[in-house]
Amino acid sequence: MTDYRFLFIFFSIKTVCWHKKCSAKAAVWTIQTVKLLLSSMRNLYKVFFLTVFLGAAHIAVGQSVAAPFEIGTWKDFKPAAVSYTFDDNCPNQLAVGVPMFDKLGFKLTLFTVINWAPNWASLQAAANNGHEIASHTVTHPSLDSINATNQSAEYEGSKNIINSKIKGQSCVTIAYPFCIAGNSKLCAGCYIAARGCNGYVESATPKDFMNVGALICGSEGGVKIASQFNFYVDWAAKTKGWCIFMMHSIDNDGGYSPVKSTELNAHLNYVNENNAKFWVGTFGNVTRYIKERDAASLKVISARSKRISIQLTDQLDNSIYNYPISIRRPLPKGWPAVNVTQGKMKLKTQLVTIAAVNYIMFDAVPNAGLITLTRQKATNMEWEKKMAIVSGKMKAEQNRL
Ligand SMILES: [Zn+2]
């Protein structure tokens, strides 16, 4: 597999300010931009060796799945994952962005700076609707220019404050101010992943979760109009990768690098129309999915003519890694339909046909109990058809009366 990510690095890096407060810091910016470029070059070097030595193999060592079961690279076995991330608390993210995403049922990530007056009530409302509220530090410093104690205060402080203000989720990811990483080990003590902006579509398993690449969007970035957004998500689908967009301002709210809401909306409609290709997930949930998928062990515990029991486990922390991953297997011979449970919970199932093979597909959480597939007499569709005929007959009867 040829890797073209290096092309995106050069298209996406811009010598610009991240927010309006930075206009007086031109010298600092020049240094930071050079550092970003160097970091991208280092990544290019790593990408080269990864491409040479690993080729297309992107499933980390550790996954073990008993055939004929399979675990999807992405949710619902879709070809790509897409994450939309927004930094710096720009007001239109809540006023325009969240409603636009809600309309299509897509979830986004809001990387929040604690000291820049977050609108906690609106962030809580977004969290209640499945959006991720994550960290963009306390004071938005350049992390590589402050000492370890101050870095820890930025990592821990922002996480603790978000967790105290926002209920019903936990803060597990961070975006680096100016896309510049500090001490990765300190950061990894607090977060499962950190977003940079190295300007390429990530592979199915990023090589460095403490510096996950994203594409810079808006007037100062390489992704400005719907067709450019569409290009990158299509690229992700071609490469089975993870496309992450980094955004700040929407329209005219005064923030860095505005994205036009009309362009973003047109792009989201494209993703929605091509729903079979793209899984839109928050930065945190896609990270959870990848780590669970790569660490999963799926064993068949028993296989009888009418019932198959499997165990899905991993060694990850269940308090964080609790996101369902997608599993499928060909429909066993003589099984018209399947009922799937995990522990005492009935799981939602889908019957899908790929290359003339019928599969049963479902989502399950690792370490959340025994999964049991039970033969059912007729498919839900057949039942629905029967019910429709019955109710049709009843209607006819009623009309006659
Ligand atoms: Zn920022």
Task: Find the CATH number of the domain harbouring 155.
Answer: 3.20.20.370
- Measured in angstroms, how far is the CA atom of residue 297 from the centroid of ligand 1? 38
Claim to verify: residue 153 and residue 252 sit in the same structural domain: yes
Give, as residue ranges, everything with CB less than 5 Å from ion ligand 1: 18, 87-88, 177
- Measured in angstroms, how far is the CA atom of residue 75 from the centroid of ligand 1? 29
- Measured in angstroms, how far is the CA atom of residue 137 from the centroid of ligand 1? 9
* Strand residue runs (E) in 104-204: 109-112, 132-135, 173-175, 193-195
Claim to verify: residue 221 and residue 364 sit in the same structural domain: no
Task: Confirm if 320 and 147 have CB atoms less than 8 A apart.
Answer: no
In our burial notation (b when 16+ CB lie closer than 10 A, e otherwise), range 126-158 reads bbeebbbbbbbbbebbbbbebeeebbbebbebb
- Measured in angstroms, how far is the CA atom of residue 368 from the centroid of ligand 1? 37
Q: Give the N- to C-terminal CA distance of the chain in Å, as an integer.
A: 68
Closest among 89, 12, 133, 25 to 249, alpha carbons compared: 89
- Measured in angstroms, how far is the CA atom of residue 45 from the centroid of ligand 1? 26
Residue 350 phi, psi dihedral angles, 5° rounding: -130, 140
- Measured in angstroms, how far is the CA atom of residue 22 from the centroid of ligand 1? 10
- Measured in angstroms, how far is the CA atom of residue 375 from the centroid of ligand 1? 52
Claim to verify: residue 24 and residue 159 sit in the same structural domain: yes
Picking from 289, 314, 345, the residue at the C-terminal end of a domain is: 289
- Measured in angstroms, how far is the CA atom of residue 255 from the centroid of ligand 1? 10
- Measured in angstroms, how far is the CA atom of residue 19 from the centroid of ligand 1? 7
Claim to verify: residue 104 and residue 161 sit in the same structural domain: yes
**Alpha helical stretches, state H, 129-170:** 148-165
| Strand 109-112 relative to strand 307-313, pairing | unpaired
Claim to verify: residue 233 and residue 209 sit in the same structural domain: yes
d(CA 243, CA 215): 8
Domain with 350, as residue range(s), is 297-381
d(CA 168, CA 178): 29
- Measured in angstroms, how far is the CA atom of residue 389 from the centroid of ligand 1? 59
Task: Confirm if 163 and 171 have CB atoms less than 8 A apart.
Answer: yes
pLDDT value, residue 151: 98
- 394 located within any domain: no
Claim to verify: residue 192 and residue 261 sit in the same structural domain: yes
- 264 located within any domain: yes
d(CA 373, CA 367): 17
Claim to verify: residue 168 and residue 285 sit in the same structural domain: yes
- 181 located within any domain: yes
| Strand 349-354 relative to strand 357-364, pairing | antiparallel
What is the total count of domains within the chain?
2
Claim to verify: residue 127 and residue 250 sit in the same structural domain: yes
Picking from 260, 289, 318, the residue at the C-terminal end of a domain is: 289
- Measured in angstroms, how far is the CA atom of residue 387 from the centroid of ligand 1? 55
Picking from 289, 322, 340, the residue at the C-terminal end of a domain is: 289
- 183 located within any domain: yes
- Measured in angstroms, how far is the CA atom of residue 271 from the centroid of ligand 1? 26
Residue 49's identity, in one-letter code, is F
pLDDT value, residue 377: 85
Helices (H) and strands (E) in the chain, counts: 11, 18
- 119 located within any domain: yes
Claim to verify: residue 31 and residue 177 sit in the same structural domain: yes
Convert 327-387 into a string of H (helix), E (strand) and C (coil). EEEECCCCCCEEEEEECCEECCEEEEEECCEEEEEEEECCCCCCEEEEEECCCHHHHHHHH
- Measured in angstroms, how far is the CA atom of residue 169 from the centroid of ligand 1? 22
Q: What is the pLDDT along the chain (401 residues), one digit of tens a residue?
A: 344 444 444 444 443 334 443 333 333 333 444 444 444 444 444 444 443 334 344 444 589 999 999 999 999 999 999 999 999 999 999 999 999 999 999 999 999 999 999 999 999 999 999 999 999 999 999 999 999 999 999 999 999 999 999 999 999 999 999 999 999 999 999 999 999 999 999 999 999 999 999 999 999 999 999 999 999 999 999 999 999 999 999 999 999 999 999 999 999 999 999 999 999 999 999 999 999 999 999 999 999 999 999 999 999 999 999 999 999 999 999 999 999 999 999 999 999 999 999 999 999 999 999 999 999 986 555 544 444 444 444 333 333 33
- 397 located within any domain: no
- 319 located within any domain: yes
Claim to verify: residue 53 and residue 197 sit in the same structural domain: yes
d(CA 126, CA 93): 11
pLDDT value, residue 59: 47
Claim to verify: residue 217 and residue 345 sit in the same structural domain: no
- 258 located within any domain: yes
Residue 245 phi, psi dihedral angles, 5° rounding: -100, 135
Claim to verify: residue 187 and residue 112 sit in the same structural domain: yes
Task: Confirm if 330 and 308 have CB atoms less than 8 A apart.
Answer: no
- Measured in angstroms, how far is the CA atom of residue 157 from the centroid of ligand 1? 17
- Measured in angstroms, how far is the CA atom of residue 82 from the centroid of ligand 1? 20
| CATH code, 374 | 2.60.40
